[in-house]
C-alpha cells in the first residue's frame, strides 16, 4: 500500500507528479497516467534485488507486480517518513507553488531526491522551471570527480552515459549535477542525458547491455548509501 508505514530501513519511493503538458494529466493514479509511471514496476523490482545482493541494507523487497514498492505525492502525510525519493522523466514534470514548498521542506529537513531520464535542452528547461520554484536561490552545479557521491562505496570515476532502451539521444552528453544545502550536503542528485531507470528495468533482458545495468546498480547503491549517511 502506498500509504503504509515504513517496513524496512530503505524503500524505493517513486515520486508521483503532475505533467507539464497534456492538462497535467499526472493527477490520475491509474497506470499510464503521466510520465511519473515510466519503468514501473520493473525498475523497482530489479533494483531492490540488486540492493539485496550487493549491500547489507535492510531494503524492502519489491515483487514483480510492484508489491512492496512505494509511490507518493508531495501532499501525502507519509512524505517525511521516507528519506529517499526517485523521480523519472522530470523533463515532463510540473510542480506548483504548494508542491514546490513541500519538496523544499522535505529536502531542507534531510530528504534526498534522485532525478533521472530526461534529455536535451528543452527537457532541461522544463525541469529547471519547477526546481526554481523549489529553490530559487540555490544553484545547480556539476559534481566533481572527487565528490563523495561517486566514491562512498564504489569508485565511479568514469562518466559513462547510461542509455535508455532506445539508445542515447544523438548529440547528448551525460551530466551528473546536484543541488546542495548550506552544509554542503547533496540534496538533489541530477542524472541528465541518461536513463538509469531503463538499465534497472531491463536487467534481465538479454538485449540490454549488462555493463550498463551493472554500472547503474553501482550508481544507485552509492546514492542510497550517501543519502543514509549524510
- The full set of domain ranges for the chain reads 13-229
Q: How many CB atoms lie within 10 A of CB 128?
A: 13
Strands (E) in 89-202, as ranges, are 93-94, 112-116, 141-142, 175-180, 186-192
Only one residue has cell 572527487, namely: 146
Q: What is the mean pLDDT of the chain?
A: 89
Distances (CA, A) of 53 to 50, 56, 67: 5, 8, 19
Q: What is the pTM of this model?
A: 0.91
In terms of Cβ atoms closer than 10 Å to its own Cβ (0-12, 13-18, 19+), residue 75 is exposed
Q: How many CB atoms lie within 10 A of CB 148?
A: 15
Checking phi first, is residue 110 left (phi over 0); if not, alpha (psi -120 to 50) or beta?
left
Whether 176 and 162 have beta carbons less than 8 Å apart is answered as no
Cα distance between residue 117 and residue 201, in whole Å: 12
Report pLDDT digits (tens) over 58-69: 889 899 888 888
Only one residue has cell 552544509, namely: 183
Report pLDDT digits (tens) over 79-110: 999 999 999 999 999 999 999 999 999 999 99
CATH of 13-229, one of 3.40.50.300, 2.60.40.10, 3.50.50.60, 3.40.50.12140: 3.40.50.12140
Mean pLDDT of 9-37: 69
Whether 32 and 42 have beta carbons less than 8 Å apart is answered as no
Q: Rg for the chain (alpha carbons), in Å?
A: 16
Cell, residue 132: 526554481
Amino acid at each position: 500500500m502506498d500509504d503504509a508505514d515504513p517496513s524496512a530501513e530503505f524503500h524505493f519511493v517513486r515520486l508521483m507528479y503532475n505533467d507539464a503538458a497534456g492538462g497535467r494529466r499526472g493527477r490520475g493514479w491509474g497506470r499510464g497516467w503521466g510520465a511519473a509511471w515510466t519503468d514501473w514496476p520493473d525498475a523497482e523490482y530489479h533494483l531492490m534485488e540488486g540492493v539485496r545482493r550487493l549491500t547489507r541494507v535492510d531494503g524492502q523487497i519489491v515483487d514483480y507486480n510492484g508489491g512492496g514498492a512505494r509511490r507518493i505525492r508531495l501532499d501525502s502525510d507519509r512524505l517525511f517518513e521516507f528519506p529517499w525519493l526517485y523521480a523519472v522523466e522530470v523533463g515532463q514534470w510540473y510542480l506548483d507553488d504548494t508542491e514546490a514548498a513541500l519538496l523544499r521542506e522535505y529536502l531542507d529537513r534531510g530528504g534526498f531526491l534522485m532525478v533521472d531520464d530526461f534529455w536535451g535542452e528543452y527537457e532541461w528547461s522544463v525541469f529547471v522551471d519547477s526546481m526554481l520554484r523549489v529553490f530559487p536561490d540555490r544553484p545547480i552545479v556539476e559534481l566533481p570527480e572527487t565528490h563523495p557521491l561517486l566514491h562512498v562505496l564504489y569508485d565511479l570515476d568514469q562518466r559513462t552515459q547510461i542509455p535508455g532502451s532506445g539508445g542515447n539521444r544523438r548529440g547528448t552528453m551525460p551530466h551528473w549535477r546536484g543541488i546542495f544545502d548550506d552544509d554542503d550536503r547533496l540534496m538533489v542528485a541530477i542524472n541528465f542525458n541518461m536513463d538509469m531507470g531503463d538499465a534497472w528495468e531491463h536487467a534481465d533482458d538479454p538485449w540490454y547491455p549488462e555493463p550498463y545495468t551493472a554500472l547503474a546498480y553501482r550508481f544507485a547503491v552509492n546514492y542510497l548509501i550517501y543519502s543514509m549517511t549524510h
